[in-house]
Chains A and B, each alone.
Chain A
């Protein structure tokens, strides 16, 4: 009886071990397959981008394809970017007031709000709005064209879909996102100033003087420079998602969602690395730059 029990017990342990090792193997295999998918996905996006660049530099896009994209990306995005920029400036004033008041540095709020807007919030906000408003729409539009064979029809008539559909959208995002960023920054600065001076009763002269002292052309350059990368990323990822849309209404919906989510993640990751790079450059050029405190 005892011997039987031991045998059963050891067999049970063996089975458990085998199951555990199979589980680990499966997990490693899943991880490997996921990594392969990621690498293949990056490769596919890189090839898509490279081929699009080939068309961009070798054949000028037609005005009739450029203007609607510019209108969609620039003109129609402007109001929402301006509105959100204004409120972000005011929110920054609300949130930082208590902290700065405790230190008796309320007048320095202008420097903090404006620097945050110039360097980070302006470009990220404009890019997020663009990804949400334009990126998803581009993915859905191109996805629908893919599903209904309109992209195949375009190719069958001797037009390259990358040249006809992607290049104008890419140029519109690349060239107009700096303008949207500047608008977001400007409205944020106005919103922050208005709230600080009108509602929080901060001295106008010192608020502006501190802003002028600590925020300069390089900060604006940082915002605009970052925005160019954000614009490119949004256009490429959104168009890629649309071009590789799965069939059916569900596929189009997934493409639109993926375009926004992937663009947003890429914006945040790029923001970090570009921020580090541009700060290093700033340190190299102006090692003794003034600090806020």
Chain B
């Protein structure tokens, strides 16, 4: 039984049960009371999550609620103001530059706009982590690069192209191939389907599922797209923007399987899932007027 089908069965088994406990005995990623502040603006407040090995967690929430900040904090690209991220027993904020570098090799990060190096060709982009961290010959690297590109459905003739010559969907797939180059243990996806047409969105969703079936990866996916949530999530966490919360309300509004999203008690969760603005426009206009 694949990891994917095992988790699906588990999800079906617990779908009639009370909401998931957000604690796991030995989580691979343990977010402990995370606070992140940029100057005067607080983005994350006391966020705690435990992500067990093999799980695909999807982070949803409105723009500006801190999803990407949480994702970047997990890999140590953003340092928390308070709290900690513990990855496989290592506190990410306590690690020195070199140790952090060693831990980051265990992650693959797919950026929102792919973040491909525009001075390099597609092949050079995918080969980059291999050249930096593996002692492979050029022929071996070429073989791995071609393999990864085929896995994400890119033709052989793209290898010599520069990122600027590719479409958005192709760039995302090259970003995915590059993130997979070192066979990471954890995949982090930052809005992998944003800006793509429905077909390409489904292709990316399929690739996320296939990646999980092919490699025993733990995944964290940041998205607004409910199709992606329904297709790939084992667990969904919804964050809410701090400026719309009172000081005592928790920032995590929802932490459970995707199936329960639409029936959740909280009106704000249901609104997000259905994509209903409600009286939001009037609120915004009122705020603008007050300002």
Contacts and interface: CB of A to CB of B under 8 A. Distances in A.
Interface in B78-101: 97, 101
B129 A158 contact: yes
Interface string A151-173: 01111111110000000000000
B183 to A, nearest CB: 13
A149 interface: yes
B115 A150 contact: yes
A157 B113 CA distance: 16
Contact of A157 (B102, B118, B132, B188): B132
Interface of A: 51, 54, 148-150, 152-160
A154 B115 CA distance: 9
A128 to B, nearest CB: 27
A256 to B, nearest CB: 17
A150 B118 contact: yes
Contacts of A148: 113, 115, 118
B48 interface: no
Contacts of B188: 156
B128 interface: yes
Nearest to B128: A157
B101 A156 contact: no
Contacts of B104: 155-158
A41 to B, nearest CB: 15
Contacts of A54: 97
Contacts of B107: 156
B84 to A, nearest CB: 19
Nearest to A151: B115
Contacts of A156: 75, 77, 104, 107, 109, 188
Interface string B176-191: 0010001000001000
23 contacts: A51-B97, A148-B113, A149-B111, A149-B112, A149-B115, A150-B115, A150-B116, A150-B118, A152-B111, A153-B109, A153-B111, A153-B115, A153-B116, A156-B107, A156-B109, A157-B105, A157-B109, A157-B132, A157-B178, A158-B101, A158-B102, A158-B105, A158-B132
B32 to A, nearest CB: 22
Given A156-B104, A157-B128, A157-B178, 10 more contacts: A148-B115, A148-B118, A150-B115, A150-B116, A150-B118, A152-B109, A153-B111, A157-B132, A158-B101, A158-B182
Contacts of B111: 149, 152-153
A154 B120 CA distance: 13
Given A152-B72, A153-B109, A159 B115 contact: no
